[in-house]
């Protein structure tokens, strides 16, 4: 089970700064964690006072705020990545923006780069807000993978911190696993039997994981969906209007994975909601 003790937020003096800071402060308090802010660019008194003013406006932090000022190119992701290592950060918060036009897509691509390389968990916020928007529904992946158990456990921890009461564990079953192609009535029947079997198998697997988790105050639902891995869970989160989507960190991505996006790349290119990637 992951516990987030040290959070890092990248500070860019953009119109979003206020909401990003507020969101980060709130999260730090909820997780009972330390907050570190890093700014890449020139350090100036102007910026310092602006930041201070913002922090004083926000809820008081339980633990002291640490600001790091680093020289460099703001679009260079390495500085942030280095900081996560040197400061032993558990969770990196990024204020991504829902994809709408090309410019924002570019911003999204930085977030993607960081997510790919970050050594810690990453939280992408698509709608940082000054006033708290309650988190009511968390969707978490239930893929058949080593890391899934850890991810699901983390989801429960997070939902406790966020006072979220509903978790849906989504098992994505890919088409190829069915082994039956639907051609006519007979193969359709076969495919549906195979689907039922797969669904029960997946449910069983998730149930097994759930046995070890204390989930008293939380409504847990499992849902099998059939579609493209990675992409469908985002679509599901969108349809169900989940507030947070929690995913496994991707396996090491090779060259081909960039060209032929899959799994998490889909989510990152089209953030359906806030996304937490657990590493």
Partner 1 sequence: MAKKNTFKTFLSDIPQNLFSGFVVSLIALPLGLGLALASGAPPISGIIAAIVGGIVVSLIGGSHVTITGPGNGLVVVILAAITTLGDGNMQEGFLFTLAAIVISGIIMIILGFLRMGSLGDFFPGSAIQGMLAAIGIGIFAKQIHVMFGNLNAKGSIIDLLIQIPEGIINLIKTNDLSILYAGSIGIISLLIMIFYSKIRNRYFQLIPAPMWIVVLSVGMYYYFDLVSSSAYPIDKSLLIALPDDILSNFAFPNFSKIYDADFLNAVLAITLIASIESLLSIKAVDKLDPLKRRSNVNKDIRALGLATVISGFLGGLNVVTVIARSSVNVNNKGTNRSANFFHASFLVVFILLFATELRKIPLPALAAILVYTGYKLASPENIKKVFLIGSEQLIIFSITLLTTIVTSLISGIIVGILVTFIIHIIINKNILLFIKNILKPNVLMFKEEGKYYVSVQNFSSFLNYTKLKTKLDQIPESEEAIIDFSLCDFVDHSVMENMNNYSESFTRKGGHFEVIGLDDSKPGSEHPFALRKILPRQITLKEGYLTKRQKSIQNISEEMHWKYDAFSAREMEELPSFGYFKTRKINKVSNVLSNENCTIFDVQFSEGEMIAKQVIKATMLHIHPLKPVPDFTLDREGIFEYILDFAGYTDINIEKHRDFSKRFYLAGKNEEKIRNFFTNELILFFESNKQYHIEASQNGLLVIGHERLSSVKEMKALAYFGMGLQKTI
The residues binding partner 1 (CB under 8 A) are: 97-98, 100, 126-127, 129, 133-134, 136-137, 165-166, 175, 181-185, 187-189, 191-192, 195, 219, 223-228, 231-232, 235-236, 238-239, 241, 266, 270
Contact by Cβ (8 Å): 111, 96: yes
Taking the least distance from each CB to partner 1, the nearer of 205 and 235 is 235
Taking the least distance from each CB to partner 1, the nearer of 38 and 164 is 164
Give the nearest distance from C-beta 196 to partner 1 in angstroms.
9
Give the nearest distance from C-beta 230 to partner 1 in angstroms.
9
Residue with tokens 């700064």: 17
Other Cβ atoms within 10 Å of 19 Cβ, number: 16
Taking the least distance from each CB to partner 1, the nearer of 34 and 171 is 171
Alpha carbons within 13 A on the beta-carbon side of 261: 11
Alpha carbons within 13 A on the beta-carbon side of 25: 24
Give the nearest distance from C-beta 136 to partner 1 in angstroms.
6
106, 237, 3, 75 alpha-carbon torsion, rounded to 10° = 0
Taking the least distance from each CB to partner 1, the nearer of 11 and 97 is 97
Give the nearest distance from C-beta 142 to partner 1 in angstroms.
13
Other Cβ atoms within 10 Å of 37 Cβ, number: 22
Helix (H) or strand (E) holding 122: strand 121-124
Give the nearest distance from C-beta 193 to partner 1 in angstroms.
11
Taking the least distance from each CB to partner 1, the nearer of 90 and 265 is 265
Distance between CA atoms of 135 and 74, rounded to whole angstroms? 31
Among 124, 221, 231, smallest CA distance to 174 is for 231
């Amino acid at each position: 089970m992951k516990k987030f003790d040290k959070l890092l937020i990248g500070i860019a003096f953009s119109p979003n700064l206020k909401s990003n800071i507020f969101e980060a402060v709130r999260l730090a308090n909820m997780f009972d964690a330390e907050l570190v802010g890093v700014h890449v660019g020139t350090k100036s008194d102007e910026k310092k006072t602006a930041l201070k003013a913002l922090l004083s406006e926000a809820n008081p932090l339980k633990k002291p705020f640490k600001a790091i000022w680093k020289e460099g190119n703001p679009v260079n992701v390495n500085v942030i990545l280095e900081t996560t290592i040197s400061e032993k950060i558990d969770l990196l918060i990024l204020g991504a923006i829902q994809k709408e036009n090309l410019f924002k897509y570019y911003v999204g691509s930085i977030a993607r780069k960081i997510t790919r390389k970050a050594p810690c968990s990453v939280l992408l916020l698509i709608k940082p807000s000054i006033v708290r928007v309650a988190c009511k529904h968390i969707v978490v992946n239930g893929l058949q993978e080593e890391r899934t158990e850890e991810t699901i456990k983390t989801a429960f921890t997070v939902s406790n911190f966020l006072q979220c009461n509903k978790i849906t564990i989504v098992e994505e079953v890919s088409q190829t696993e069915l082994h039956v192609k639907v051609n006519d009535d007979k193969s359709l029947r076969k495919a549906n039997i195979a689907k039922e079997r797969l669904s029960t198998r997946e449910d069983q697997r998730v149930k097994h994981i759930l046995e070890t988790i204390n989930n008293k105050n939380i409504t847990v639902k499992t849902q099998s969906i059939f579609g493209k891995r990675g992409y469908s869970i985002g679509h599901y989160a969108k349809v169900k209007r989940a507030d947070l989507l929690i995913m496994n960190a991707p396996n090491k991505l090779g060259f081909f994975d960039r060209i032929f996006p899959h799994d998490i790349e889909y989510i990152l290119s089209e953030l359906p909601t806030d996304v937490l990637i657990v590493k």
